């Protein structure tokens, strides 16, 4: 239940942060477009730092349920040696993921922003929810944490303490492991950039004799990456490098269904990529029937996701960038990422 009056009073403090953020926008980022930045910064601060963001989120849930009563996409479970991964379509284009060990009936859920369809899935599967694994604080990822914790008494909520995760019970640090029984072994990687405390979760495939699964939140999507709301390009690059260092067989389960837009953008910056073109054709076919496009593999992503290719000379040429004489390789790759993200922001603002 929202205690609207008291929360708005409490938000006076938050407005202080809004003002600080706005002043930073005006004076630190001397951009000719500062009014747009000013407006966006105010809006972002209200969304993330006040309960007004939660009220907005509840309205988004209502809207999405009216528009897509059965969910925005049709999904199917993937079963890997008794581990069942069920994408749950929520809001307009988000996915939560229910992960079940069918041998023990233990379940965890990643980013349950709308608790209702997640709970329906858990009940249909007849499983007990052990934990919420939350990638970051944005309401479209964390908005259902508290409701599920209330519904499932012993449910733990994992995430990074820097991100102000609703209902957080178990704060995580980089590379912490989280085990549920003998087969569900997750490792959390600290991947800031989209938010200051963004975390991704890797389900270890070795314990189940299959590929690992990466739940990447808003860090990496099929052929895309998240916006850099709370970090610069160097920070984001380092987080993307974490993904790049993982095994090629790893399955990618992102936080949003953005495949079609992302592949069309990738086609603009790299028109002659055969692998990307084939994937685009497949995605268009899937989306024509409103079918889910997850998972892809990291081997595929490394071939067509431009945000994982900041080292590529083809990409440098396409963006018209060259390494400066006194510029080290990492700084140059960060500059490539910054330019790529800038173009993506113009192409489509997400």
Cβ neighbours, 10 Å, residue 67 = 10
What radius of gyration, in Å, describes the C-alpha atoms of the chain? Answer: 20
Please name the residue ranges forming H helices in the chain: 4-27, 34-49, 52-67, 115-125, 139-142, 145-151, 233-244, 259-269, 274-288, 298-304, 313-319, 329-347
Q: How far is the CB of 350 from Zn ion (least distance, A)?
A: 10
Under rule CB under 5 A, residue 137 binds Zn ion: no
Q: Which of 57, 72, 256, 316 is catalytic?
A: 256
Q: Which is nearer to Zn ion, 218 or 257 (CB)?
A: 218
Q: How far is the CB of 117 from Zn ion (least distance, A)?
A: 19
Q: How far is the CB of 255 from Zn ion (least distance, A)?
A: 7
Q: How far is the CB of 194 from Zn ion (least distance, A)?
A: 6
User: Which span sits near Zn ion by CB under 5 A: 38-46, 55-63, 138-146, 268-276?
Assistant: 138-146
Please enumerate in sequence order all residues whose Cβ is within 8 A of that of 231, keeping only pairs 6 or more positions apart, or say none.
192, 193, 194, 195, 196, 239
Q: Has 311 been annotated as catalytic?
A: no
Q: Which is nearer to Zn ion, 98 or 113 (CB)?
A: 113
Residues 217-256 that bind Zn ion (CB under 5 A): 218
User: Which span sits near Zn ion by CB under 5 A: 94-102, 130-138, 277-285, 341-349?
Assistant: 130-138
User: Which span sits near Zn ion by CB under 5 A: 53-61, 123-131, 133-141, 145-153?
Assistant: 133-141
- Token pair of 114 as six digits: 């709308």
Q: Which of 72, 138, 185, 198 is catalytic?
A: 138
Select from 72, 137, 138, 149 the one that contacts Zn ion (CB under 5 A).
138
First to last CA, the chain: 30
**C-alpha to C-alpha distance for 315 and 270, rounded to whole angstroms:** 7
Q: Has 349 been annotated as catalytic?
A: no
Q: Has 111 been annotated as catalytic?
A: no
Q: Has 136 been annotated as catalytic?
A: yes
Q: Which of 101, 111, 114, 140 is catalytic?
A: 140
**C-alpha to C-alpha distance for 286 and 263, rounded to whole angstroms:** 13
Cβ neighbours, 10 Å, residue 204 = 15
Under rule CB under 5 A, residue 114 binds Zn ion: no
Give the residue carrying structure tokens 């942060």: 17
Shortest-Cβ-distance residue relative to Zn ion: 138
Q: Which is nearer to Zn ion, 3 or 348 (CB)?
A: 348
Q: Has 141 been annotated as catalytic?
A: yes
Q: Which is nearer to Zn ion, 106 or 172 (CB)?
A: 172
At how many degrees (to 10) do helices 329-347 and 233-244 cross?
100
333, with CB counted inside 10 A (0-12, 13-18, 19+), is buried
276, with CB counted inside 10 A (0-12, 13-18, 19+), is buried
Q: Which is nearer to Zn ion, 134 or 178 (CB)?
A: 134
Q: Which is nearer to Zn ion, 218 or 301 (CB)?
A: 218
Residues 89, 257: contact at Cβ < 8 Å?
Answer: yes
Query: Hey, which residues are catalytic here?
Result: 136, 138, 140-141, 194, 218, 256
Binding site for Zn ion (CB under 5 A): 138, 218
């Amino acid at each position: 239940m929202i205690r609207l009056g008291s929360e708005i009073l409490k938000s006076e403090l938050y407005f202080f942060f809004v003002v600080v953020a706005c002043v930073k926008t005006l004076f630190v980022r001397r951009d000719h477009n500062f009014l747009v930045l000013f407006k966006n910064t105010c809006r972002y601060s209200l969304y993330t730092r006040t309960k007004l963001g939660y009220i907005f989120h509840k309205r988004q849930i209502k809207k999405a349920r009216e528009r897509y009563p059965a969910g925005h996409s049709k999904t199917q479970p993937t079963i890997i040696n008794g581990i069942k991964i069920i994408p749950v379509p929520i809001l307009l284009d988000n996915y939560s993921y229910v992960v079940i060990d069918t041998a023990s009936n233990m379940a965890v859920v990643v980013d349950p922003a709308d608790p209702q369809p997640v709970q329906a899935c858990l009940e249909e599967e007849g499983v007990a929810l052990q934990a919420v694994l939350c990638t970051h604080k944005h309401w479209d990822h964390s908005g259902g944490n508290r409701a599920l914790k209330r519904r499932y008494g012993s449910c733990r909520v994992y995430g990074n303490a820097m991100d102000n995760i609703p209902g957080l019970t178990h704060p995580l640090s980089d590379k912490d492991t989280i085990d549920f029984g003998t087969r569900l072994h997750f490792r959390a990687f600290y991947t800031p950039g989209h938010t200051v405390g963004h975390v991704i979760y890797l389900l270890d495939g070795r314990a189940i004799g299959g590929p690992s699964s990466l739940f990447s939140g808003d860090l990496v999507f099929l052929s895309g990456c998240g916006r850099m709301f709370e970090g610069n390009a160097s920070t984001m690059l380092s987080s993307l490098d974490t993904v790049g260092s993982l095994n090629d067989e790893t399955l990618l389960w992102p936080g949003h269904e953005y495949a079609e837009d992302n592949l069309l953008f990738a086609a603009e910056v790299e028109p002659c990529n055969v692998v990307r073109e084939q994937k685009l054709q497949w995605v268009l076919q899937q989306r024509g029937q409103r079918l889910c496009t997850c998972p892809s593999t990291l081997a595929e992503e490394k071939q067509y996701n431009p945000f994982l290719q900041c080292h590529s000379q083809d990409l440098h040429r396409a963006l018209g960038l060259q390494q400066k004489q006194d510029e080290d390789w990492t700084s140059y790759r960060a500059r490539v990422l910054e330019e790529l993200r800038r173009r993506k922001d113009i192409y489509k603002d997400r």
